A and B are shown apart, each in its own frame.
Chain A
Amino acid sequence: NAGVMQNPRHLVRRRGQEARLRCSPMKGHSHVYWYRQLPEEGLKFMVYLQKENIIDESGMPKERFSAEFPKEGPSILRIQQVVRGDSAAYFCASSPRPLLNNSPLHFGNGTRLTVT
Protein backbone atom coordinates (compact mmCIF):
# COMPACT_ATOMS: atom_id res chain seq x y z
CA ASN A 1 0.00 0.00 0.00
CA ALA A 2 3.00 2.32 0.24
CA GLY A 3 2.95 5.29 -2.06
CA VAL A 4 -0.73 5.81 -2.92
CA MET A 5 -2.09 8.29 -0.41
CA GLN A 6 -5.76 8.73 0.27
CA ASN A 7 -7.42 11.28 2.51
CA PRO A 8 -9.29 11.59 4.61
CA ARG A 9 -9.09 8.08 6.06
CA HIS A 10 -12.52 8.44 7.58
CA LEU A 11 -15.30 10.77 6.47
CA VAL A 12 -18.69 11.20 8.07
CA ARG A 13 -21.42 13.02 6.19
CA ARG A 14 -25.11 13.58 6.80
CA ARG A 15 -27.59 12.63 4.14
CA GLY A 16 -27.73 15.31 1.45
CA GLN A 17 -24.21 16.63 2.02
CA GLU A 18 -21.31 16.36 -0.41
CA ALA A 19 -18.34 14.04 0.04
CA ARG A 20 -14.93 14.69 -1.52
CA LEU A 21 -12.36 11.91 -1.48
CA ARG A 22 -8.78 12.58 -2.50
CA CYS A 23 -6.17 10.29 -3.98
CA SER A 24 -2.55 11.25 -4.51
CA PRO A 25 -0.97 8.65 -6.80
CA MET A 26 2.54 7.36 -6.45
CA LYS A 27 5.17 9.78 -7.72
CA GLY A 28 5.39 9.71 -11.49
CA HIS A 29 2.06 7.90 -11.91
CA SER A 30 -0.41 9.49 -14.27
CA HIS A 31 -3.10 6.77 -14.23
CA VAL A 32 -5.60 6.47 -11.38
CA TYR A 33 -8.30 3.89 -10.66
CA TRP A 34 -11.12 4.18 -8.13
CA TYR A 35 -12.81 1.18 -6.55
CA ARG A 36 -15.61 0.88 -3.99
CA GLN A 37 -16.14 -1.84 -1.41
CA LEU A 38 -19.62 -2.09 0.03
CA PRO A 39 -20.02 -3.96 3.34
CA GLU A 40 -19.57 -7.73 2.99
CA GLU A 41 -18.63 -7.45 -0.69
CA GLY A 42 -15.54 -7.42 -2.85
CA LEU A 43 -14.14 -4.31 -4.46
CA LYS A 44 -15.91 -3.01 -7.54
CA PHE A 45 -14.35 -0.90 -10.28
CA MET A 46 -15.73 2.61 -10.58
CA VAL A 47 -13.59 4.76 -12.87
CA TYR A 48 -10.20 4.95 -14.60
CA LEU A 49 -8.59 8.34 -15.25
CA GLN A 50 -5.45 9.66 -16.81
CA LYS A 51 -4.31 13.21 -16.21
CA GLU A 52 -7.20 15.47 -17.26
CA ASN A 53 -9.07 12.62 -18.96
CA ILE A 54 -11.69 10.08 -17.95
CA ILE A 55 -10.87 6.86 -19.80
CA ASP A 56 -13.51 4.48 -18.44
CA GLU A 57 -16.34 5.40 -16.07
CA SER A 58 -18.45 2.31 -16.68
CA GLY A 59 -18.59 1.51 -12.96
CA MET A 60 -19.74 4.91 -11.80
CA PRO A 61 -23.36 5.37 -10.70
CA LYS A 62 -25.14 7.50 -13.27
CA GLU A 63 -26.08 10.28 -10.87
CA ARG A 64 -24.38 12.18 -8.05
CA PHE A 65 -20.92 10.67 -8.63
CA SER A 66 -18.10 12.36 -10.52
CA ALA A 67 -14.33 12.02 -10.71
CA GLU A 68 -11.49 14.16 -11.93
CA PHE A 69 -7.72 14.01 -12.15
CA PRO A 70 -6.46 17.50 -12.90
CA LYS A 71 -3.09 18.39 -14.35
CA GLU A 72 -1.95 19.48 -10.89
CA GLY A 73 -3.06 17.99 -7.62
CA PRO A 74 -4.76 14.80 -6.51
CA SER A 75 -7.57 12.88 -8.11
CA ILE A 76 -10.95 13.70 -6.57
CA LEU A 77 -13.97 11.44 -6.28
CA ARG A 78 -17.01 13.59 -5.56
CA ILE A 79 -20.33 12.35 -4.31
CA GLN A 80 -23.15 14.87 -4.21
CA GLN A 81 -26.23 14.58 -1.99
CA VAL A 82 -24.97 11.47 -0.26
CA VAL A 83 -27.38 8.73 0.82
CA ARG A 84 -26.91 5.94 3.35
CA GLY A 85 -26.22 3.46 0.55
CA ASP A 86 -23.06 5.41 -0.32
CA SER A 87 -21.49 4.27 2.96
CA ALA A 88 -18.53 2.18 1.87
CA ALA A 89 -14.76 2.03 1.66
CA TYR A 90 -13.38 3.80 -1.40
CA PHE A 91 -9.97 2.70 -2.66
CA CYS A 92 -7.65 4.27 -5.15
CA ALA A 93 -4.80 2.70 -7.12
CA SER A 94 -2.30 4.19 -9.56
CA SER A 95 0.07 3.15 -12.31
CA PRO A 96 2.71 4.94 -14.40
CA ARG A 97 1.22 3.78 -17.70
CA PRO A 98 -1.63 1.56 -18.93
CA LEU A 99 -1.26 -1.73 -17.13
CA LEU A 100 0.16 -4.79 -18.83
CA ASN A 101 -0.76 -8.30 -17.83
CA ASN A 102 2.23 -8.68 -15.58
CA SER A 103 1.72 -5.52 -13.54
CA PRO A 104 -0.65 -5.71 -10.60
CA LEU A 105 -2.53 -2.75 -9.22
CA HIS A 106 -1.34 -1.40 -5.87
CA PHE A 107 -3.98 0.21 -3.70
CA GLY A 108 -4.03 2.94 -1.09
CA ASN A 109 -5.51 2.40 2.37
CA GLY A 110 -8.86 3.82 1.38
CA THR A 111 -11.37 6.34 2.67
CA ARG A 112 -14.19 4.99 4.78
CA LEU A 113 -17.31 7.04 4.15
CA THR A 114 -20.14 6.86 6.65
CA VAL A 115 -23.42 8.57 5.85
CA THR A 116 -25.63 9.24 8.86
Chain B
Amino acid sequence: DQQVKQNSPSLSVQEGRISILNCDYTNSMFDYFLWYKKYPAEGPTFLISISSIKDKNEDGRFTVFLNKSAKHLSLHIVPSQPGDSAVYFCAATFNAGGTSYGKLTFGQGTILTVHP
Protein backbone atom coordinates (compact mmCIF):
# COMPACT_ATOMS: atom_id res chain seq x y z
CA ASP B 1 0.00 0.00 0.00
CA GLN B 2 2.03 2.90 -1.35
CA GLN B 3 0.46 5.95 0.30
CA VAL B 4 3.05 8.36 -1.11
CA LYS B 5 4.17 7.96 -4.71
CA GLN B 6 6.80 9.60 -6.82
CA ASN B 7 6.07 8.30 -10.29
CA SER B 8 9.18 9.62 -12.00
CA PRO B 9 12.25 7.59 -11.05
CA SER B 10 14.54 10.15 -12.66
CA LEU B 11 14.64 13.67 -14.09
CA SER B 12 17.32 15.32 -16.17
CA VAL B 13 17.53 19.12 -16.43
CA GLN B 14 19.91 21.68 -17.88
CA GLU B 15 21.66 24.04 -15.50
CA GLY B 16 19.72 27.27 -15.08
CA ARG B 17 16.39 25.72 -16.00
CA ILE B 18 13.53 24.79 -13.70
CA SER B 19 13.34 21.34 -12.08
CA ILE B 20 9.86 20.13 -11.16
CA LEU B 21 9.54 17.06 -9.00
CA ASN B 22 6.12 15.58 -8.37
CA CYS B 23 4.53 13.56 -5.61
CA ASP B 24 1.06 12.09 -5.10
CA TYR B 25 -0.50 10.80 -1.91
CA THR B 26 -3.63 8.86 -1.04
CA ASN B 27 -4.10 9.24 2.72
CA SER B 28 -6.43 12.18 3.51
CA MET B 29 -5.10 12.26 7.08
CA PHE B 30 -1.73 13.65 5.96
CA ASP B 31 -1.45 17.32 6.89
CA TYR B 32 2.28 18.00 6.83
CA PHE B 33 4.49 17.39 3.81
CA LEU B 34 8.25 17.52 3.46
CA TRP B 35 10.93 17.25 0.81
CA TYR B 36 14.31 15.71 1.56
CA LYS B 37 17.43 15.62 -0.56
CA LYS B 38 19.82 12.70 -0.33
CA TYR B 39 23.35 12.21 -1.56
CA PRO B 40 24.89 8.71 -1.76
CA ALA B 41 26.21 7.39 1.57
CA GLU B 42 24.59 10.23 3.51
CA GLY B 43 21.36 10.62 5.40
CA PRO B 44 18.40 12.56 4.00
CA THR B 45 18.72 16.31 4.43
CA PHE B 46 15.59 18.34 5.07
CA LEU B 47 14.87 20.81 2.28
CA ILE B 48 11.46 22.40 2.66
CA SER B 49 8.04 21.61 4.08
CA ILE B 50 4.44 22.71 3.88
CA SER B 51 1.46 22.44 6.14
CA SER B 52 -1.93 21.55 4.70
CA ILE B 53 -3.29 24.96 5.65
CA LYS B 54 -1.09 26.46 2.93
CA ASP B 55 -0.83 25.85 -0.80
CA LYS B 56 2.63 27.27 -1.34
CA ASN B 57 5.85 27.67 0.60
CA GLU B 58 8.99 29.28 -0.75
CA ASP B 59 12.59 29.21 0.46
CA GLY B 60 15.15 30.71 -1.84
CA ARG B 61 15.36 28.65 -5.02
CA PHE B 62 12.96 26.05 -3.67
CA THR B 63 9.16 26.27 -3.75
CA VAL B 64 6.72 23.58 -2.73
CA PHE B 65 3.15 23.62 -4.01
CA LEU B 66 0.31 21.65 -2.44
CA ASN B 67 -2.95 20.80 -4.19
CA LYS B 68 -5.09 19.14 -1.54
CA SER B 69 -8.05 18.37 -3.78
CA ALA B 70 -5.75 16.49 -6.16
CA LYS B 71 -3.64 15.08 -3.31
CA HIS B 72 -0.59 16.27 -5.17
CA LEU B 73 2.50 18.23 -4.28
CA SER B 74 5.43 19.42 -6.30
CA LEU B 75 8.87 20.84 -5.67
CA HIS B 76 10.19 23.54 -8.00
CA ILE B 77 13.89 24.37 -8.10
CA VAL B 78 14.75 27.56 -9.98
CA PRO B 79 17.37 27.97 -11.26
CA SER B 80 18.70 24.42 -11.12
CA GLN B 81 22.39 23.97 -10.35
CA PRO B 82 24.69 20.95 -10.82
CA GLY B 83 25.03 20.72 -7.03
CA ASP B 84 21.29 20.00 -6.86
CA SER B 85 21.93 16.58 -8.44
CA ALA B 86 20.75 14.09 -5.83
CA VAL B 87 17.82 11.85 -4.95
CA TYR B 88 14.75 13.78 -3.80
CA PHE B 89 12.20 12.19 -1.49
CA CYS B 90 8.82 13.56 -0.63
CA ALA B 91 7.33 12.55 2.69
CA ALA B 92 4.03 13.02 4.45
CA THR B 93 2.81 12.73 8.00
CA PHE B 94 0.04 13.60 10.45
CA ASN B 95 -0.39 13.65 14.20
CA ALA B 96 -0.80 9.94 14.81
CA GLY B 97 -1.48 10.27 18.51
CA GLY B 98 1.56 9.06 20.43
CA THR B 99 3.86 9.24 17.44
CA SER B 100 3.12 12.93 16.87
CA TYR B 101 4.55 14.03 13.52
CA GLY B 102 7.62 11.80 13.64
CA LYS B 103 6.19 8.94 11.62
CA LEU B 104 6.93 9.93 8.05
CA THR B 105 5.73 8.05 4.98
CA PHE B 106 8.24 8.45 2.16
CA GLY B 107 7.93 8.18 -1.60
CA GLN B 108 10.38 6.05 -3.57
CA GLY B 109 12.49 9.00 -4.61
CA THR B 110 13.37 10.79 -7.86
CA ILE B 111 16.95 10.99 -9.08
CA LEU B 112 17.58 14.55 -10.29
CA THR B 113 20.53 15.17 -12.60
CA VAL B 114 21.39 18.76 -13.47
CA HIS B 115 23.73 19.03 -16.45
CA PRO B 116 26.19 21.94 -16.71
Contact = CB atoms under 8 A, between A and B. Distances in A.
A104 B99 contact: no
Interface size class of A (residues with CB under 8 A): 20 to 34
A27 B64 CA distance: 31
Interface in B90-111: 91, 93, 95-96, 98-109
A108 B41 CA distance: 11
Contacts, number: 79
Interface in B63-116: 89, 91, 93, 95-96, 98-109
Contact of B102 (A4, A40, A99, A108): A99
Interface stretch (A13-21, A61-69, A75-83, A90-98): A90-98
B21 interface: no
B24 to A, nearest CB: 13
Contacts of A102: 32, 49, 51
Interface of B: 4, 6, 31-32, 34, 36, 41-46, 49, 51, 89, 91, 93, 95-96, 98-109
Interface of A: 1, 4, 31, 33, 35, 40-45, 48, 55-56, 59, 91, 93, 95, 98-110, 112
